[in-house]
Amino acid sequence: MRWVFIIEFGKGNNTDVIVEGDNCGGVIIGERGVLKYKIGVDYLNNERCVWLLNSPNSTNITLKLLKDGFESCCDYLLVNTIDPKTGTLRNDTVPINRSNRTRTFEESMLVIVFRSDSSTRGKGFALQFSSGGNDPNPEYSYKLRHRADPYGTIDFPSDDWGNGESANNEILVIASSLKIGADDDPFTMPTNMSWSSGVFKKDNESCEYGSITFYTTPEPDGWLTRERFPNSNDTTSCTDTVTVAPKKNICSTIYSAFLVIYKPTAAVQNNNETIFRFTYEKSAGCGGIFIGNGEISYKEDGKYANTEKVCSQYNVHITRRELFEDCCDYITVSSVDAFNGVQSQAAVITSDNRTALIKGPVAIVTFSSDSSVTGSGFRLSFRAETQVPYDPPFSYHLVHQNQPRKNEFSYQVEPNQVVVVAFSPESHRQIYYSSGNTQLNLASFRPQVNETCFSDSLLVYDVYGRKERALGLSKAFNASDVVSDQSFITQNAAQNCTAFVDSQFDPCENMADCGDSPPNGAYFRTNTTSFVAVYSSVNVTSSLRFRGFILTSETN
């Protein structure tokens, strides 16, 4: 039988806590016992397993390595303690291995990590723990959770934490580590973390605030501090509360191991308020939507695959920290205009050209790798150089999809709106980037025309990601394709075009369910797996009940 569990014994209980099996990490609560992991069984390369060990009311914990089959040079345990006054990890990482089998730590809670490198495998270990001292009224206590899912959302407060709020001396610790398979490659599938919301209250007696700190993948010398909320800039005004806005991709970690510590203040927090929320997902993060100012991280701590095509959309000024193959792997940036679509001349970001300034409110950014040397990923920063006018001529709706094999997208548009849909599948999916393509079907197309016979349009682009050709037009649709009259829409058309009405289309109850006779060329294949579609609407109030489109895709 294989298991990992939480078990707690009170003072004076003579029963040891025994945790054994092959689950990669967990929570252990007790005075003494043994942690047995893969005893007599080969562990895998690149494992990172995190256990949180707590002996409540104790003042110290002694660890003793009873048995191990470690590769002597490179595989071992790492142990850290938490400073309860600051709510952060101490910089006191201690290795436990054959040359350092026993160690006493002057704390009641330990973070224990098993790490293996990528060379020779060994067998598991047995680690004994025993607590000492007695503190019946500790100044701080801990609430511990371990996650072993590839994705999830962490909310506090929530039912998962057992009560509505944390006492001001109760520190929350969340650890994540995944059991991996023999064929798993952690370098191509990191875990990405995003911040959703947070409200932190000031201490009643000072300008100190509650805080949350994120740590990722333990390296040979310990954990890496990645983000802390609120930061010093947030707290300079010493207001009663600090709200930290959502932030996408705050960090990315290979091996999928991370640690989060939340320390509240003495201020009373309403138990109906969300104090913090963040999400994590084991995903390459191939593409996405980014608005305003910020950063994009793609496999920054990992390895990207050959012949990748990644497509993202955001408002841009971009700088690059180069980590990938300089000759052949690069980033392109193309602006998007209403009706004109993606501009043909793209900016190319390389080691010799690290900055790009793009005109327009939206840009398409692609990352492409060739089939030779693979490199590490990258982090891009971006910002808006100028403010959008108070009454911009067009509004934009951005969508990104990355799940093969079949996708469907529908949207009901408004006047003067631009809808941009991008598709770029994750590299770990069984997709052939170089020779693959995508079958598209414009299942419904309900455009509108204005008094000058100018029409809504849908432009579909192949994503090549090449320096000389970042994107190429694959297919274009306008009202002429609906009425099967290519002279219906021309720049010199007579000024007597009439708007479409509902009777020209099949009845339906919402845009997603509209099924119409396909326009000309509705079924077609792109020349690349990834694609971008841009729908632009004219400035006319539609007499159609449902105006817009349905686009389905199936990837080879």
- The pLDDT tens digits for 214-261 are 999 877 778 989 999 998 888 888 998 899 988 877 887 878 899 999
User: In this structure, is residue 78 part of a structural domain?
Assistant: yes
- 276 and 307 share a domain? no
Predicted confidence pLDDT, tens digits, the chain (556 residues): 333 333 333 344 446 899 988 889 999 999 999 999 999 889 988 899 999 999 998 999 999 999 998 888 888 999 999 999 999 999 889 999 989 999 999 999 999 999 998 788 889 999 999 999 998 788 889 999 999 988 889 998 887 776 545 556 889 999 999 888 877 766 656 788 889 889 998 888 888 898 999 999 877 778 989 999 998 888 888 998 899 988 877 887 878 899 999 998 865 555 556 789 998 887 655 666 666 666 666 665 555 555 455 555 444 434 444 455 666 778 888 889 899 999 878 888 877 777 888 888 888 888 877 766 566 667 777 777 666 555 678 888 888 777 656 778 888 898 999 999 888 876 544 444 445 688 999 999 999 988 888 899 999 999 988 888 889 999 999 988 887 766 665 544 445 577 788 888 888 888 888 888 888 889 999 998 889 999 999 998 877 889 999 998 888 6
For 51, the token pair is 């256990």
User: 143, 82 in Cβ contact below 8 A?
Assistant: no
- 328 and 202 share a domain? no
User: In this structure, is residue 8 part of a structural domain?
Assistant: no
- 265 and 366 share a domain? no
373 DSSP 8-state letter: -
Give the pLDDT confidence score for residue 298 in this predicted structure.
65
Its pTM stands at 0.60
- 424 and 490 share a domain? yes
255 DSSP 8-state letter: G
User: In this structure, is residue 143 part of a structural domain?
Assistant: yes
Q: Which amino acid is at 220?
A: P
For 6, the token pair is 């939480």
User: 217, 271 in Cβ contact below 8 A?
Assistant: no
User: 256, 187 in Cβ contact below 8 A?
Assistant: no
- 265 and 298 share a domain? no
Question: What's the whole-number average pLDDT of the chain?
Answer: 81
Determine the Cα–Cα distance for residues 525 and 437; give it in Å rounded to an integer: 7
Determine the Cα–Cα distance for residues 207 and 451; give it in Å rounded to an integer: 62
- Final residue in a domain of this structure, among 265, 282, 299: 282
Give the pLDDT confidence score for residue 61 in this predicted structure.
97
- 300 and 247 share a domain? no
Say how many domains are in the chain: 2
Distances (CA, A) of 148 to 175, 256, 258: 9, 9, 11
Determine the Cα–Cα distance for residues 218 and 550; give it in Å rounded to an integer: 46
- 266 and 349 share a domain? no
Determine the Cα–Cα distance for residues 479 and 522; give it in Å rounded to an integer: 13
- Final residue in a domain of this structure, among 282, 317, 337: 282
Determine the Cα–Cα distance for residues 6 and 52; give it in Å rounded to an integer: 10
- 510 and 433 share a domain? yes
Give the range of the structural domain holding residue 258, as residue numbers without chain letter. 17-282
Determine the Cα–Cα distance for residues 218 and 323; give it in Å rounded to an integer: 21
- 309 and 277 share a domain? no
Distances (CA, A) of 62 to 17, 127, 128, 222, 534: 14, 10, 8, 19, 62
